[in-house]
Amino acid sequence: MKEKLLVLDFGSQYAHLIVKRLRRLGYYTEIAAPSISMNQANEAKGIIFSGGPATLTGDFFPHFNKDLLNIKTPILGLCFGHQLLAKMNNAQIGNTNPGEFGLASIQKENNSPLFDKVQFPSQVWMSHQDAVESLPDGYECIASTKDCPYAGIQNLEQKRFGLQFHVEVSDTIAGNTILDNFAQFCRMEKNWDNNTMSSEIIEKIKKEAKDKQVLLFLSGGVDSTVTFALLNKALGQEKVLGLHIDNAFMRKNESAVIEERYKKAGFENFIVEDASDSFLKAVEKITDPQLKRKAVGEHYLKVRDEVTKKLSLDEESWLLAQGTLYPDIIESGESKNAHIIKTHHNRVEGIQALIAKKLIIEPLKDLYKDEVRIIGRQIGLSDELIDRHPFPGPGLSINVLCTTGVLSSEEEREKQKAERKLSELDFQTFKKAENIKNLEFTTRVLPVKSVGVQGDQRTYRFPAVLDISSKTFNWKDIEKISSFITNLNPDVNRTIICLWENEGCVLQEGYCTKEALDQLREVDAIVLEELKKADWYKKIFQHLSIHTSYARDEGRCSIVLRPVVSEDVMSARFAHLDFAILEKISTRIKALDFVDALFYDATNKPPATFAWE
């Protein structure tokens, strides 16, 4: 039997990321439910308790096998898992109100096998509302931060470790070292090679498809492109059909570019269907972001049915394929203990029904974006196909924020509460403590809500706006201020910078129409063009231009720029663009006759998601 480590998934946004990190380090790792049997648990060389959205101070508690606490196998608890180990050993767990989200610095309090070759102080990534408030019986403290006195604990006799921070996130600088140290503590031998991923996936496709043909939703993004290439390698082009749907939500001239690139890559087994009019009708006047995503996802299935009927395809002989990645699944709340952050188009009710009937094939569903790119290169896809910025199925529809133009009475109260708490923050003391100089600003709240993720739970809140007196500033100072705001004001989930704004802007009525999408396409084309000119396109993971109806009049808009840097989608930092590039982008957008304001999203994930919907 193959040696392995086990990650018990308590519903964390990052549970599979732990698996991925350990596999990257060469250790075969599987994920399992917290209710795993003792026989299964005893097969592992080490066990990791993941984070999760549950709270040990509340009523909800995920089911888990408490006998695991008596196992002789080493256990590492992360975030919620850290709190669980502490709680089960008589420690106090409390709500930190409002919590820690983003970067923090840990200090070593005692030596630990986990900290071999780790330099202190060390940058880590936090995302928690609750915290350990007293030392558990038999444990010693091994690490702390200024806001978290028990950021690390251990009981060497019982082979137990707990860390409040997320070692699996790339912004925890020594994360891989700590995980490698834990694997070595477990006496785990290296037994996994990422170079075997593509061949294993191809064999799995053959097994799942059997004698059936496969129809693939082909967006043109790296996920569906790699899926398409793998299906062709596994089954042959004659058994695979790619369906690219022009859904009205593509970037400027995107469908034509995609068609050209696929033909250049030697793909002949795909068709393009123009369904733009029907997709626009499907999202007409929908303001709720969840309902909009679901409408787009369900309409894909309707178009698929229309195409299969038009081509006279025998539905009994065909499977539907998707380029679904694990983040799509976890953010849609499909993991047993996970909370819904946003419903992805490939996880709507109609798709779930097909999954239940085993009529869906998803070769990449256990992988992350960087792993998909590795596979793409392994099977010989070109850089222009592999390095394209992520562009999910709903496309620009989720970047057009829709509103009736009037906040409800409840939203007005939420906005006033956010404004009041923002005004109560002591920025001067914080700036002095963090040695932030030459940064003067005022704050306000933009009357536009967006989706966020804090402590593995979905939020839907207003953003804080910084009106800065100078055109240039230190991005690191902005990052500190942004985290200060979102950590201490739970009623906002983003911090954005106002680059410029025309007088008289208020919330207008606005929906996902062809006119709004055309405006967004023009802006998005400008940003991407300037990023490519300045060799910044490959430096960032993804750029999103966000269209809001905060403007002087109906039919006009304000724009939020959202370039992010990420390795794995589950966490990200906002891009620190060169000011020369930002100035060029700003000037060109200001010349457009329909834009009344330009903002820059300076929020990491968490607490914000990439997109605003």
pLDDT tens-digit readout, 222-260: 999 999 999 999 999 999 999 898 999 999 999 899 999
- 370 in the same domain as 267: yes
Q: Each residue of 429-472: pLDDT tens digit?
A: 999 999 999 999 999 999 999 988 765 577 899 999 999 998 88
The answer as to whether 223 is a domain residue is: yes
Beta-strand runs (E) in 13-121: 29-32, 46-49, 75-78, 93-108
Contact (CB, 8 A) for 497 and 468 = yes
What's the average model confidence in pLDDT over 371-393? 87
83 pLDDT higher than 80: yes
Of 185, 204, 230, at which residue does a domain stop? 185
* Residue that wins the pLDDT comparison between 558 and 216: 558
- 484 in the same domain as 533: yes
- 369 in the same domain as 241: yes
Contact (CB, 8 A) for 190 and 279 = no
- 247 in the same domain as 175: no
Q: Each residue of 306-324: pLDDT tens digit?
A: 888 888 888 788 888 888 8
Nearest to 365 by CA among 201, 245, 242: 201
- 235 in the same domain as 177: no
- 252 in the same domain as 178: no
- 371 in the same domain as 473: no
Q: Which domain holds residue 113?
A: 5-185
Name residue 440's amino acid: E
The answer as to whether 169 is a domain residue is: yes
pLDDT band at 271 (very low <50, low <70, confident <90, very high): very high
The answer as to whether 402 is a domain residue is: no
334 pLDDT higher than 70: no
Beta-strand runs (E) in 276-425: 318-321, 360-361
Residue 267, sorted as left (phi over 0), alpha (psi -120 to 50) or beta, turns out to be beta
What's the average model confidence in pLDDT over 391-396? 80
- 583 in the same domain as 436: yes
- 210 in the same domain as 156: no
- 589 in the same domain as 488: yes
All residues at 6 or more sequence positions from 349 whose CB lies less than 8 Å from its CB, including other chains: 294, 298
**How many other CB atoms sit within 10 Å of the CB of residue 39?**
7
Contact (CB, 8 A) for 214 and 363 = no
All residues at 6 or more sequence positions from 26 whose CB lies less than 8 Å from its CB, including other chains: 190, 191, 192, 193
* Residue that wins the pLDDT comparison between 342 and 238: 238
Tokens of residue 313, six digits = 């395809």
337 pLDDT higher than 60: no
- 200 in the same domain as 56: no
Cα dihedral sign, 92-98-102-108: negative
pLDDT at 260: 93
Domain of 524, CATH number, reads 3.30.300.10
The answer as to whether 611 is a domain residue is: no
The answer as to whether 51 is a domain residue is: yes
Tokens of residue 105, six digits = 């610095």
Of 168, 185, 202, at which residue does a domain stop? 185
- 590 in the same domain as 502: yes
Domain of 250, CATH number, reads 3.40.50.620
113 pLDDT higher than 80: yes
Q: Average pLDDT, whole number, for the chain? A: 89
Of 137, 167, 185, at which residue does a domain stop? 185
The answer as to whether 613 is a domain residue is: no
**Which helix (H) or strand (E) is 415 found in, with range?**
helix 409-424
Strand partners, 395: none
Side-chain-side CA neighbours of 451 within 13 Å: the count stands at 23
Share in percent of the chain as helix, strand, coil (round to 5): 35, 25, 40
Q: Each residue of 186-202: pLDDT tens digit?
A: 999 998 886 778 888 99
The answer as to whether 610 is a domain residue is: no
What domain count does the chain have? 3
The answer as to whether 201 is a domain residue is: yes
Enzyme catalytic residues: 79, 166, 168
